[in-house]
């Protein structure tokens, strides 16, 4: 039950490029037309992040600019989702598939992207994407649909450690989905509801199912929807604070912060300092993957 995944673009005017679509549909596994040298200036690199909930595709050029992007539900056929995502992102970028130089896949379904040249974990890719916007030592927090991660990166862009949440939905997008459903509100309304809260409600439980029970008790007690919504976002932040020390600059990445930017405000309050949210945080994994595709080109030849 995801209602809010979508957006995408940069160059919407290019949508509907028949050439791009045609070339893709006939392409099967490989996308590039062999024997055609793509000049550096025209070339693009692609990152495909097949997440548990959403598939994100980013197209970048040699200047590392995001030329096009697209997000769609991952569904049950990751290969199809990644193809569809690529098609749309290329469309948005106004670039035909023949100009793709290299593709890196990441995310839950990273091994199901038939046209990928390279596979990387989403931990590496979120780090890479965020470091591009903030090239300093930092702590990156990626909150995804199914899991969350805390990644420590040094001032040279190398990870010095990372942690993934334990096997529980608490502190992830899945938790917000489940609880929004329980509250009968559309997931996309949570953020604005939380901003209207007038008091703090603390959700104590460690577990999504128990939290849902707690919410029932709050509803019974007559608490406002706004206060409960804020309580939910606070609990996501709380789960993250429990994972690992958030040292230095904190950068937030992933779909949950993309759709609930108020979460950054809550985290800032808890930490007592500003946190960084890169542009289009939901695409940081795919963007990082595209950067790996660009940088890894030399290695491949060796």
Partner 1 sequence: MSTSGLPQRKEFRATARLKQLMADHFHQLDEAAKTGSAKIAWCTSVGPAELLRAMGFLVYFPENHGAMLGATRTAMDYIPAANAAGYSPDICSYLTSDVGAFLRGETPLRRAYGIERVPRPDVLVYNTNQCRDVQDWFHFYGRRFGVPVLGISSPRGVEELSSVHIADVAAQLEAMVPALEKIAGRPLDMDRLREVVALSKRCSDLWKEVLDTARSVPSPWTFFDHTIHMGPAVVARGTPEAVEYYEILLEELRERIEQGMAAVDGERHRLYWEGMPIWGKLRDLANLFMDLRCCIVASTYCNSWIFSAFDPEDPFRSMAHAYTDIFICHAEPWKERYIEERIREFQVDGILFHDAKTCPNNSNSRYGMPQRLQERLGLPALVVHGDLNDLRCYSEEQVRTNIEAFVEQLEER
Q: Which residues bind partner 1 (CB under 8 A)?
A: 108, 111, 119-124, 147, 158-164, 166-167
Q: Which is nearer to partner 1, 163 or 199 (CB)?
A: 163
CA distance 110 to 117: 11
DSSP string, 146-215: S-EEEEEE-TTS-EEEEEE--S--TTSHHHHHHHHHHHT--GGGHHHHHHT--S------SSHHHHHHHH
Helix (H, G, I), strand (E, B) or coil at 29: coil
Strands 44-50 and 100-106: parallel
Helix (H, G, I), strand (E, B) or coil at 268: helix
CB of 164 to partner 1, least distance (A): 6
Q: Which is nearer to partner 1, 111 or 192 (CB)?
A: 111
Q: Which is nearer to partner 1, 42 or 154 (CB)?
A: 154
Q: Which is nearer to partner 1, 161 or 196 (CB)?
A: 161
CB of 27 to partner 1, least distance (A): 19
CB of 258 to partner 1, least distance (A): 21
Q: Which is nearer to partner 1, 70 or 239 (CB)?
A: 239
CA distance 226 to 228: 5
Tell me if 245 sits within 8 A of 221, measured CB to CB: no
Q: Which is nearer to partner 1, 122 or 227 (CB)?
A: 122
CA distance 96 to 19: 7
Q: Which is nearer to partner 1, 99 or 152 (CB)?
A: 152
CB of 261 to partner 1, least distance (A): 26
CA distance 169 to 5: 19
CB of 298 to partner 1, least distance (A): 16
Tell me if 74 sits within 8 A of 50, measured CB to CB: yes
What tokens does 99 get?
A: 């100009």
CB of 137 to partner 1, least distance (A): 14
What DSSP state is assigned to residue 32? S
CB of 82 to partner 1, least distance (A): 15
């Amino acid at each position: 039950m995801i209602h809010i995944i979508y957006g995408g673009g940069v160059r919407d005017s290019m949508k509907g490029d028949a050439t791009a679509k045609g070339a893709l549909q006939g392409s099967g596994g490989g996308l590039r037309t062999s024997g055609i040298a793509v000049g550096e200036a025209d070339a693009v690199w692609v990152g495909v992040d097949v997440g548990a909930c959403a598939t994100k595709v980013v197209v970048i050029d040699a200047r590392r600019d995001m030329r096009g992007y697209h997000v769609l539900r991952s569904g049950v056929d990751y290969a199809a989702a990644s193809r569809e995502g690529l098609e749309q992102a290329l469309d948005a970028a106004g670039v035909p598939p023949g100009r793709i130089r290299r593709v890196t896949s990441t995310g839950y379904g990273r091994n199901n992207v038939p046209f990928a040249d390279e596979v990387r974990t989403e931990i590496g890719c979120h780090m890479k994407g965020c470091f591009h916007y903030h090239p300093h030592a930092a702590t990156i927090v990626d909150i995804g649909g199914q899991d969350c991660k805390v990644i420590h990166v040094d001032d040279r862009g190398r990870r010095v450690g990372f942690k993934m949440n334990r096997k529980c939905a608490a502190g992830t997008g899945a938790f917000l989905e489940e609880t929004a459903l329980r509250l009968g509100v559309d997931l996309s309304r949570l953020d604005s509801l939380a901003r209207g809260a007038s008091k703090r409600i603390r959700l104590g439980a460690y577990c999504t199912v128990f939290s849902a029970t707690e919410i029932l008790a709050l509803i019974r007690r007559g608490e406002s929807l706004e206060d409960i919504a804020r309580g939910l976002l606070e609990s996501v932040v709380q789960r993250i604070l429990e994972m690992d020390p958030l040292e230095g600059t904190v950068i937030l990445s992933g779909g949950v912060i993309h759709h609930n930017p108020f979460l950054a405000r809550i985290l800032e309050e808890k930490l007592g300092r500003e946190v960084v949210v890169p542009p289009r945080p939901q695409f940081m994994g795919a963007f990082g993957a595209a950067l790996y595709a660009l940088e890894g080109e030399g290695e491949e030849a060796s």
